Structure 1
Amino acid sequence: MPTKRVAGVILAGGQARRMGGGDKCLLDLGNGHLLLDEITTRLTPQVDCLALNANGDPARFGRYGLPVLPDSLDDAGPLAGVLAAMRWARGQDCNAVVTVAGDTPFFPVDLVAHLLAGRERHRIAIAATDRVHPVFALWDTALIDVLAKALAQGLRRVVEFSALHGAVTVHFSHTGTLDPFFNINTKDDLEQVQRKLASKEQG
């Protein structure tokens, strides 16, 4: 069997506290189409294998048939999910893993290809538009032990770990009204995404 090159992991550990709690990735975007449906549709064709990073009962994601990876450390933020993603990717014979946020439905359909092209010899490549989007990144699984040690020592910020290991920023352009990395944090954000998807369907 040929060796896979890039795994994909959706980081879905965040709770929608400003929207009443629960899994943001399971928000309804309209007509029963969930946020996670949109994300998996975009990411699946870009990677060799796909998993979901989330805590709690994995049965709530059963309809997707994806491996569900709990955080490698409690209350450690997105970096714990990145470590779980790296470890899973290595087990799938992948030497790199791309992570995406579970609350961002419009990330580029060429995200992985663009990160791969822009990373050169760097072990971490991070997406950016007019600002950096730290969890939209390509990670070399050779960083597993380094990241595990950093977490054990209390490091929690994705940008801090990335900077320590010479991450390169890969820029994505956009012409639409919404940044492709627009994420849903509030009910207003959700309504904005619902309107955009509804207008696409009507067009």
Structure 2
Amino acid sequence: MTTTDRSGVVLAGGHSRRFGQQDKALAELDGEPMVKRVVERTSPVVDELLVSCREAQRARFEAVLDSAAGSVEFVTDPEPGAGPLAGVNAALQHTSGEYVAVVACDIPAVDPEFLAFFFEQASGRQAAVPRLQGGTPQPALAVYEAAAMRRVSTALLDDGVRRFRSALEELDVCFVAPEEVEARTEWHTLQNVNTPEELAELEDELR
């Protein structure tokens, strides 16, 4: 793998318990699986793109993403069900970019231009993370310095800590305030979908 400036990781290994029997990543928004939407919206702003998933998901994802724009590599979770921080850590063992965009597969309206802005904000720092309307950070739609996040996530997981936001406490983070988010994009581009009802609401909003 050649050295790149920007890597991307799509987190798709969750068990989707609140989504019923269906794999949330494959649920369709406007006729397109969410994981495919996220891949196609992330790939224009990165030099390489990895999808972090469970081994049991890989064949289905490969079939769905075969027609997606841009090339995609797959990284399987060494410990399925360990959470998004473990998924990020697994993917970071295979990325070559100095900075990496992390996007959860359940944020299907992600804005490529907004993601590119986060790469700019992360320059010279260890992360750029948006704050949602209530001020809560959203670490699953953010950009990280790969070496720093690799080191921090490894240390946390070794200590038994799986909470994604715990990594932010160990990094030099540029937090993007809600006012800046509103000035640059729509809130639905940061919305994560956890239930079929939320998916239907987002589909209505995008029409």
Scaled to the shorter chain, the TM-score interval is 0.7 to 0.9
Matching of residues 157-196 of structure 1 within 5 Å? 157-171=163-177, 172-173=181-182, 178-196=187-205
Matching of residues 100-179 of structure 1 within 5 Å? 100-130=103-133, 131=135, 132-143=137-148, 144-171=150-177, 172-173=181-182, 178-179=187-188
TM-score (structure 1 length as normaliser): 0.84
TM-score (structure 2 length as normaliser): 0.83
Which residue number in structure 2 is paired with residue 60 of structure 1? 60
Sort the Cα spacing of 1:72 and 1:140 in 2 relative to 1 into closer, same or farther, 3 A.
farther
Pairing 1:84–2:90 present: yes
Q: Which deviates the most, 63-72 or 80-89?
A: 63-72
Give 1:121 deviation, angstroms.
2.2
Q: Deviations over 1:119-144 (max 9, x none)?
A: 24221221224232111121222122
Amino acid of the structure 2 residue aligned with 1:99: V
Aligned to 2:129, the other structure's residue is in SS state: strand
CA distance in 2, matches of 1:176, 1:49: 24
Give 1:54 deviation, angstroms.
0.6
Amino acid of the structure 1 residue aligned with 2:143: L
Q: Deviations over 1:33-63 (max 9, x none)?
A: 2212221221111111111111023111113
CA distance in 2, matches of 1:158, 1:178: 21
Q: Deviations over 1:54-108 (max 9, x none)?
A: 1023111113143221224444311111112221213xxx112110011111122
Sort the Cα spacing of 1:33 and 1:71 in 2 relative to 1 into closer, same or farther, 3 A.
same
Sort the Cα spacing of 1:127 and 1:51 in 2 relative to 1 into closer, same or farther, 3 A.
same
CA distance in 1, matches of 2:168, 2:4: 24
Give 1:147 deviation, angstroms.
2.2
Give 1:23 deviation, angstroms.
2.0
Structure 1: gaps (5+ residues) = none
Structure 1 residue runs of 4+, over 6 Å off?
none
Is the contact between residue 130 and residue 142 of structure 2 (CA under 8 Å) also seen in structure 1?
Answer: yes
Which residue number in structure 1 is paired with residue 69 of structure 2? none
Question: What fraction of aligned residue pairs are identical, expressed as a percent?
Answer: 28
Give 1:177 deviation, angstroms.
7.4
Aligned to 2:143, the other structure's residue is in SS state: strand
Is the contact between residue 11 and residue 81 of structure 1 (CA under 8 Å) also seen in structure 2?
Answer: yes
CA distance in 2, matches of 1:176, 1:4: 27
CA distance in 2, matches of 1:160, 1:4: 27
Which residue number in structure 2 is paired with residue 71 of structure 1? 77
Aligned to 2:32, the other structure's residue is in SS state: coil
CA distance in 2, matches of 1:178, 1:136: 12
CA distance in 2, matches of 1:45, 1:142: 23
Aligned to 1:115, the other structure's residue is in SS state: helix
Give 1:2 deviation, angstroms.
7.3
Is the contact between residue 99 and residue 119 of structure 2 (CA under 8 Å) also seen in structure 1?
Answer: no
Give 1:174 deviation, angstroms.
5.5
Sort the Cα spacing of 1:174 and 1:54 in 2 relative to 1 into closer, same or farther, 3 A.
farther
From 90, 96, 99, the equivalent of 2:99 is 96
Amino acid of the structure 2 residue aligned with 1:42: R
